[in-house]
Every structure is written in structure tokens, then in C-alpha cells.
Homo-oligomer: A and B are copies of this chain.
Amino acid sequence: MIESLNNEKIKLYAKLNDKKYRYENKLFIAPGKHLVEEAIKSNLVKEILLLQGEENTYNSDVTYVTEDILKKVSDLSNAPIVLAICHMKENTNIKGNTIILDDIKDPGNLGTIIRSAVAFNYETIILSSNSVDIYNPKVVRATEGMLFNINILTGNLPSFITELKNKGYLIYGTDVINGHKPTKELKPHALIIGSEAIGMSEEIKKLTDKNLYIKMNKNCESLNAGVSASILMYTLNEDNYE
């Protein structure tokens, strides 16, 4: 049971809302029941903070805390009744179909794309160094826990793309002018999604094998980045339905 906002551990946990402290400590915050359950399944929990008076349904040790502590650590005015402090994931080399994000900046979009990537059987996500941080609490919430179910790599995109090409992956990009209709792709592939503001960078554009385009009404300039990424992943991976 911790009741003091000045407890050293609580002070450290609250700092995890700041990227610098997340990476110094290799820890991040997963707020809410569903995220805590996904964190437990993934064996990444360091400590669970549960509101005093609540029943421990988590089949795991918990530390009881006050509502003020949950507010402080979650940085949410509407505090969750439970949150987990988690170790960052140990990620492996590239495996399975892969999605590559070129400077996605909006936390909601990144979270949505991760959620859809897991839904459509992508196993690896590669983020450019200037993308929004995957452990940003808003991203973590928007993934609905699916960040625990995907292999996450961050770094220089052209190097990763070269590695993928050497492994025989088809590299898909998008192109408003010359893009093709997306259809099911049985070969191993990587799909590149450009940033919300400017799309794929010029350097990256040169590295694609095939470009796709989602045809739309002329009154609409573009789709939300999370939506277009999701439609492309769905169509490339569409399973046979019964």
C-alpha cells in the first residue's frame, strides 16, 4: 500500500510520461484493465498499481494506491482504477509481413495502425526515428494492448528496406497518380505508410517495388493515415472467408 505522492517509486513512475525518462529506465505505463491484462499475458509487468478497495482480479501481485497516485502516474484527470508499469519489449529481427511508418506523428494514428496491423497478421512494425514514440501513453492506449503482440523496430528506414529487399520481400508504397488497386498478396511483403503531412519522403519513394492507391471520390483529397494504412493491410492480407 502506497499513499504518499512523494514516494520515490511513484515520483519515478510519474516521470514515465516523459520520453526521456521512459528510455532511461526502459519502462512505460499501460493504463486501464484491458491493457494491464494484455501486459500480464506478455510477461512485461514490473508492478501493478490498483486503487485501494478494488478486488485484485489479475492473478498477479498488486500494489494498492490512492486515486491521487493513479491520477499522478497516469497523467489523466479521469484516472484509471488500475495501471501497470511495464518493461519495454525485447524486439527481434524482422519477421513476417512488415509495416513501415515514415514519420507518423499523431499518437492516435500510430496506435490505430498497430491495432490493425495485428488484426491483419503483420508481425513486425518499423518506425522511422522521427515518428511519435511507440511508448507514448496516448499511443499505448490507442493500440488497445496490441503493441504487446507485434515486433517493433525503430531506426533508419532505407537500411531496413535494403535488408528487407535482400531477404526477398516485396516493398509496397503508395502513389496518388500511378498507384494500383490493392489486392491480396501471398508473397512476403512490407508496406510503407507516409507521414500525415507529406506522405513518403523522396528517398523512400525510390525504394518501392509497387505502389498502391485507394480510389476515392474527387471531393475528398485523402483519408486519415490510420484508415488508409488499415484498408491497405486488409486488402493485401484478406483471408478467405467461409
Chain B residue at minimal CB-CB distance from A220: B119
- Across the interface, do A217 and B180 meet the contact criterion of CB distance under 8 Å? no
Give the interface residue-count category, chain A: 20 to 34
Asked whether A121 is an interface residue with its Cβ less than 8 Å from the other chain, the reply is yes
Minimum distance in angstroms from A122 CB to a CB of chain B: 9
Q: How far is the CA of A224 from the CA of B106 in the complex (A)?
A: 15
Interface-facing stretch out of A45-53, A87-95, A186-194, A227-235: A227-235
Given contacts A224-B112, A234-B231, contact A217 B181 (CB under 8 A): no
Q: How far is the CA of A222 from the CA of B214 in the complex (A)?
A: 23
* Chain B contacts for A118, CB-based, 8 A: 217, 219-220
- Across the interface, do A230 and B223 meet the contact criterion of CB distance under 8 Å? yes
Partner of A146, one of B142, B220, B227, B234: B220
- Across the interface, do A217 and B121 meet the contact criterion of CB distance under 8 Å? yes
Given contacts A121-B217, A181-B241, A241-B181, contact A226 B226 (CB under 8 A): yes
Query: Could you show 16 A-B contacts with beta carbons less than 8 Å apart?
Result: A115-B223, A115-B227, A116-B224, A118-B217, A118-B219, A118-B220, A119-B217, A119-B220, A119-B223, A146-B219, A180-B241, A215-B238, A215-B239, A226-B226, A226-B227, A230-B231
